Amino acid sequence: MRQNLQMANKGYQKLGDESNSLTEWIPIILAGILVVAVVIFDYDRFAFTTPIGRFVFADVTMVLFVVVTAVTAFQVHLTRGGFIVILSLLCLGITGFFSILYLILVAELPNVGRAVTDSIRYLLYGAVVFCLLPIITHHRNWRIYIQVFVGCYILVLLVAISQSLAVLGIAPFDPLFRWENIRGGGTRIAGTFRWQGPFVLYMGLMLPILVTRTITATNRILKVFYTGLVAGGVLSIFFSGSRIGLLILPFAFLPVVAVAIRSRELISLYPLLFGGVLLVPLVYFEVGAVERAIDQLYSLITSPGEQSRVRIWRQALSEMLDTSLFFGLGPRQTIYIVGTTPHSGYIGFLVERGIFGLLVFVILIVSLVRIAAQLITSYFDDAPLMALCVASMVPIMLVYSIANSAFTGRIAPLIVALILSTHQLINGGGFHHTIE
C-alpha cells in the first residue's frame, strides 16, 4: 500500500512502540488468528451444539481472544464515537436480557436458549472490539490486520471460483467443490461461509480495500493483480444469487469516485478497473448469474409470495404489538413465531428487542455514520485514500441490513474495530476514556 497511515499535525494516537520483540507481536498474531477463524471457519463442519445453542470454532476463538487480551495491561484510548459504539454493542446484549426476563415473567419465550445465546453474542462483540482496538490502533499492526483480511479474501475467492466452476459442472471442481452451503437448487455459492448472506457481506466489505489498492499500486503487475481480485469478487457476488449484493456493490467503488473528484491524474486506471469488474460477469451472462441476480433484486420486496419480505415484516410487527412494544418478541424468536427470520436488520431489532432495542441500534448506526463522515472529510483534507475506503464500509453494512443484519454476523466486530481504529489513527485527539 503506497499511502500508509502517517502522523498528522492535529494529532495521531500511537500506542506502543515499533519494537520487534515477541511480546509486541503476540497481540497482532492473536488478532490475525481471530480474523482467520471468523472468515474461514464460520462453517457447519466446525459447529457444535450446546444446551444454549449452536456455536462454531470462531465463537471459541473470540472468547479465548477476549480472555487472553483482557488480562494484559493495555492502555485503551477511545474517541467519543468509539466509546459510544462499543457501549451500544454491549447495550444490545443487555436489552436482549431485559427482553428475555420480561417475556419469561409476563408473556412467553419459545426458545430461551437461543435468546440467551444471541444476547451473549453482542456482549462478546463489544468485548472483542474493546480488546482489538489497542492492538490495531498502532500503525504497523493496522497494516498487518489489513493484510490478513486481504489474504483471507484471496482464499475465500479461490473457493468461490471453484464453487462457481462446480455449479457449471466442470470437472474436477464438480463434485469436489459442490459443498452443502451451495443453495438455491445447487446454483448459489457461499465460499467458506455457512450461507450466502455473510459471504456477500464479507466480499462487499473487502472490495473497497482491493479497489483502493488497485488505485494506489505503483507497479503495473500489482494493478492488474488487484483488478483481477476485484473482478473475481464482483463475479462471486453475482454467482451467490444475492439480491442485496447488487445494492452494496456501488458503495465498494466509492474510492474511485473520490479520486475522480479530488484528482484526475489516475483517470487512465478507470477503464482497466471498470472493464475488469463489469465485463467479466457479462461474459458469463449465458450462465444466468447476472440475470438471476437482477430478477431476485426486483423481487426483493415486490414478490407477492407467502415468504415475501413485506408479508414477513407485517406479520412480525403485528406479533410484536400483540406481545410487547417495548421488549419485542425476544432475541431470535421471530423464526418460532412467524416461521422465518425478520429478513431485515432494522425490522429485526425492533420486533425482537422492541423500542428499547431499536433505540440502541439507532444510536449505534448514527455513531458509525458520523465516524464515516469524519473519515470522508479527512480524506478531502489530505488524509490517505484508505480513510475513505474504510468509511465506505459503513454504508455497505447499512444497506446490507435492509435484507439481513450486518451486525449479527461474526465479521461485524472485526470490521467495527477496523473502522474505529482507522478513525482514531487519522483524527486522534478528542474525548479519551482510559482504562489501565
Over residues 99-110, the pLDDT tens digits come to 999 999 988 888
Spatial CB neighbours of 98, under 8 Å, sequence gap ≥ 6: 327, 356
Q: How many alpha carbons lie under 13 Å from residue 123 in its C-beta half-sphere?
A: 11
Confidence check: pLDDT of 172 > 60: yes
Confidence check: pLDDT of 436 > 70: no
Confidence check: pLDDT of 198 > 70: yes
Closest CA to 357 of 409, 408, 428, 312: 408
Q: Give the integer Cα–Cα distance in Å for 87 and 91.
A: 6
Backbone angles phi, psi at 279, to 5 degrees: -80, -35
- Reported as a pLDDT band with limits 50, 70 and 90, residue 297 is low
Spatial CB neighbours of 334, under 8 Å, sequence gap ≥ 6: 316, 319, 340, 341, 342, 348, 351, 352
Closest CA to 198 of 399, 32, 411, 403: 411
Cell numbers 454491549: residue: 90
Per residue in 362-420, pLDDT (tens digit) is 999 999 999 999 998 888 777 788 888 999 999 999 999 988 889 998 999 999 999 99
Mean pLDDT across the stretch 306-334?
85
Confidence check: pLDDT of 80 > 60: yes
Among the ranges given (108-112, 276-280, 316-320, 353-357), the one the predictor scored with the smallest mean pLDDT: 276-280
Q: Mean pLDDT in the chain?
A: 80
Closest CA to 99 of 313, 347, 326: 326
DSSP code string of 32-73: HHHHHHHHHS-SGGGEEEETTEEEEHHHHHHHHHHHHHHTS-
Q: Give the integer Cα–Cα distance in Å for 40 and 413.
A: 16
Burial of 23 (0-12, 13-18, 19+ CB in 10 A): exposed
What's the Rg (C-alpha) of the chain? 22
* Domain extents in the chain: 23-427
